[in-house]
Chains A and B, each alone.
Chain A
């Protein structure tokens, strides 16, 4: 994140604040559906509110986790391999986000 320190700092804090209420919603939903069948769980996730909140959780989470792992890569990976690791990080985060958005569209449709 060379030369973009302040923007990255703000992006990480903003996504953190967005993730806090979403994490509470997610844990509450997970506890409430601990005993649910597949159909009950899917019906819950298919409602517009829950599908949007789950999408927001995974999108904001993917954004936040990419910045966090990039910071760890900066700390512990030497200059030579750093770029490759950051590219893999982007692919993993974007892949997780894309897969979830596609899946939620299918579930909510």
Chain B
């Protein structure tokens, strides 16, 4: 990786340099593949879908990284692979100095989490998008929030109950309702239960996977605010995954934009939002409607052509080039790598042109 080694962005690329304190999370060259069957009736080939392809990032303690992109870009898979819900095909995930990808064990022919990985899970939690699908409908709210505490045998029954009440109060739920079932609550309240469950074990890293996408507008702001408060209060570190750039910008310190399994631009929040250098980032920003009719109607918009191609057959060269408004011939041939341009990293041949 070229570029000035003194800029923070390039330090993120050359991961092993111990110049600064070890970040809480270091991801290098993370690649996740899924086996898929070929489409044809008699086609027995096994294809490989590369959902995440060589993602690298670093995240300091107490910071929030926003991961943005459209559906199918690999942002959720990246989040899951960081927590080792999925075993990465390649690459490294270091959490607080511990390499996670080597903690998988083989048992009866299946790959499972080793003991160390299971113990580390106390310190890494996830908040899911769908507050309907991620809470067991047959468990009460109290049991849902208590489950991680019981699994890790944190305290006796009285202590657990006390902790559950404390958590529910903290996320803004009335603890008197703790004997109720998820279906008795609205989407926003269910999301609060999911947050309480994620916080039960005092985690350090929380992956928030589209935590507000399924919620109503007036509830989205409540949940975003709650997540920001909790971060300050408990010194949490977030990976905030969303497709809504405005929400990501609100909560993140750094932003990484993903397209077809790759990070195309990563850097400081304000730099990315105020002066995007990758044409895809630019079109994502343009696509966010501004709630101001005068400004919205005067905005220059170049809607992207076409749709995201299949990750089974990604385009040659730059994966964005078939939709790119500024593509040149080189873009269809040569795959651009992330490089430092100005004050961020961007994977575009044309970034930094005068």
Q: Are the chains A and B members of one assembly?
A: no
Listed in ascending order, the chain A residues whose CB lies under 8 Å from chain B are none
* Residues of chain B at the chain A interface (Cβ within 8 Å): none
